[in-house]
Structure 1
């Protein structure tokens, strides 16, 4: 019953939130969700030829180092924007409004603290995987990948799975619970985590249900959007190839225009997806806020909103019981009947 009530309350809160935002607010919310969905830039900087056997010229080595540094700066910039917008999102859920300029300005410092925490978690996960790798190389006296035994591969693989699971769990809990705690009580990331752990002790099942719900919804969205994106991608690429071929035959000056159209189309698609996903993201966040408030009333960011939703749900339930209340009571159940 408690889980069903939380699901119902989160649904009512999401409905009221989107109604309060209106069309203009929903469009701005799409921008927030777009950045929270990840920039996807990390895959662009993997596998760069920076080994000594591939880069012998010092100038080429410096060029490769410059590309890597630029890539890390871009990733860091997008990571910082996403960290700030985490607080903007929660601020918007709490106030049922979305003032991007105001909320961004007020959460710049919190974004830095969250970004540093996330970087630390990533480095810790990498270090966990690096331990068996280093053990294999130095203790196992492995010099080439061909010398790695199946047992060593399994050990490294299991360690990577554990590290990935831990990374995902920490990031999920941080996003759903620690960020609201940091915002509500003006805490740092580590202090917010300690406060959350103390509060979660009173509602462990609720926290577990929230994490599982977030993962389940995330997997469903990933599966659906992957299929839709694949179909739209094929159609879009086919159209760009045909149109681009026709334009380039007329003049090579159209090539930058074709590239620009491709980039604009990709960004537009991601933004439309963000608009569609925004209500689902809002629902999961509200679910987490309800669980957090139930675990520790002093961490309830939305007490007034919850009271209004629970009142509406109570009225609806009372309305549903009207028919039953009008049925004549049995003689044994009549409170006015005396034996």
Structure 2
């Protein structure tokens, strides 16, 4: 009977995740929390997201003399430019941390600074690949949108316009799904292969293609299971994060109520702003810590599946060894030998 690794490695990845995270070691958890932030483990926290609406900016600039009610385009362009630069920096760091994550899990040595210096080159290659694919996606979506606009303008019937709209939306989804799968397989399989064979993205993808060719049904089942596991994990993570946010927010809410008399009838008083900033400063690290077991598990799961499909790329066997490198020795090893290096 055929063994489908996407099923058989669910429990195995859980056991190996427990070996890393328990007994509890604050140094390991903090390092994994940092990795979670940059490796895309927390999609709910985006420090580079620009949420200011046009009405807010319009209200600000109408008070400026000589603007005639129009927003200051120079300021807007500067903000957009700054957001793009920050997003590119974050994207590059995210690419580097994908390799750092694999290095930490396969060696059981959580030395972020050490691995960072070794992975800046590979991170740049991965980032360039992601930019190229993203540009292709934007180009395809732009073509679809142009076709949509042309189709709507060329037809008179409202029902026909609606049909064209939904047809083009379906086309966009059909374009986006393969790109999303490409990104997922690049992170899950190509990054470990690049790490093991010290190669570039294209060469890594060639080797990954050969691995996938050994069992396409295994890959299809893995993609489906990864999707299901990700949904379950996100739901559980959100529930725990919301509970934590409420618990942490209670004292700040009480402090806000107690100081309401100082707000002069306005919500955005200096006191409330200070309380809000303090709340966010405390909440973000807590949510990152909450994400650690979930992010670690899903990464360990992909490494386990890759190692089962291609033993030459097995990176989690170290957790099955006996002796000083056994799983329950992870915390001790990291604490005594590696934390001082960071």
TM-score range for the pair, normalised by the shorter chain length: 0.7 to 0.9
Cα contact 1:125–1:167 (8 A) shared by 2: yes
The residue that corresponds to 2:330 in the other structure is none
1:22, 1:235 → 2: CA distance?
24
The residue that corresponds to 2:329 in the other structure is none
1:56, 1:152 → 2: CA distance?
39
The residue that corresponds to 2:105 in the other structure is 93
Cα contact 1:142–1:148 (8 A) shared by 2: no
Cα contact 2:17–2:297 (8 A) shared by 1: yes
Cα contact 2:96–2:116 (8 A) shared by 1: yes
Aligned-residue Cα RMSD (Å) equals: 3.7
Q: Of 33, 40, 47, which aligns to 2:46?
A: 40
1:277 pairs with 2:291:
yes
The residue that corresponds to 1:108 in the other structure is 120
1:28 pairs with 2:31:
yes
CA displacement at 1:177 relative to structure 2 = 1.0
1:175 pairs with 2:187:
yes
CA displacement at 1:298 relative to structure 2 = 2.4
1:218, 1:43 → 2: CA distance?
23
The residue that corresponds to 1:83 in the other structure is 95
1:11, 1:227 → 2: CA distance?
20
Q: Of 17, 20, 25, which aligns to 2:20?
A: 17
Deviations 1:63-82 (A, max 9, x none): 21111001111222222222
Instruction: Report the 3-state secondary structure (helix = DSSP H, G, I; strand = E; otherwise coil) of the residue aligned with 2:72.
Output: helix
The residue that corresponds to 1:117 in the other structure is 129
How many residue pairs are counted as aligned between the two chains?
Answer: 306
CA displacement at 1:134 relative to structure 2 = 1.0
The residue that corresponds to 2:79 in the other structure is 67
Instruction: Report the 3-state secondary structure (helix = DSSP H, G, I; strand = E; otherwise coil) of the residue aligned with 2:81.
Output: helix
- Alpha-carbon distance change, 180 to 46 in structure 1, aligned in 2, over 3 angstroms: farther
CA displacement at 1:240 relative to structure 2 = 4.1
1:71, 1:87 → 2: CA distance?
25
CA displacement at 1:62 relative to structure 2 = 2.0
- Alpha-carbon distance change, 284 to 139 in structure 1, aligned in 2, over 3 angstroms: closer
1:81, 1:281 → 2: CA distance?
17
Instruction: Identify unmatched segments of 5+ residues in structure 1.
Output: 313-339
- Alpha-carbon distance change, 60 to 126 in structure 1, aligned in 2, over 3 angstroms: same
1:142-221 matches, cutoff 5 A: 149-221=161-233
Q: Which has the higher contact order (CA 8 A, sep 6+)?
A: 2
Deviates more, 1:132-141 or 1:105-114: 132-141
Instruction: Report the 3-state secondary structure (helix = DSSP H, G, I; strand = E; otherwise coil) of the residue aligned with 2:163.
Output: helix
The residue that corresponds to 1:334 in the other structure is none
CA displacement at 1:2 relative to structure 2 = 4.8
CA displacement at 1:124 relative to structure 2 = 2.0
Deviations 1:42-77 (A, max 9, x none): 642586589xxx998999222211110011112222
1:307, 1:273 → 2: CA distance?
33
Cα contact 1:80–1:112 (8 A) shared by 2: yes
1:256-267 matches, cutoff 5 A: 258-267=272-281
CA displacement at 1:96 relative to structure 2 = 0.7
Instruction: Report the 3-state secondary structure (helix = DSSP H, G, I; strand = E; otherwise coil) of the residue aligned with 2:214.
Output: coil
Deviates more, 1:120-129 or 1:257-266: 257-266
Instruction: Report the 3-state secondary structure (helix = DSSP H, G, I; strand = E; otherwise coil) of the residue aligned with 2:50.
Output: helix
Instruction: Report the 3-state secondary structure (helix = DSSP H, G, I; strand = E; otherwise coil) of the residue aligned with 1:265.
Output: helix
- Alpha-carbon distance change, 162 to 307 in structure 1, aligned in 2, over 3 angstroms: farther
CA displacement at 1:31 relative to structure 2 = 1.7
Instruction: Identify unmatched segments of 5+ residues in structure 2.
Output: 327-342
- Alpha-carbon distance change, 238 to 8 in structure 1, aligned in 2, over 3 angstroms: closer
The residue that corresponds to 1:301 in the other structure is 315
Deviations 1:287-318 (A, max 9, x none): 22222223223222344434559xx9xxxxxx
The residue that corresponds to 1:330 in the other structure is none
Deviates more, 1:207-216 or 1:230-239: 230-239
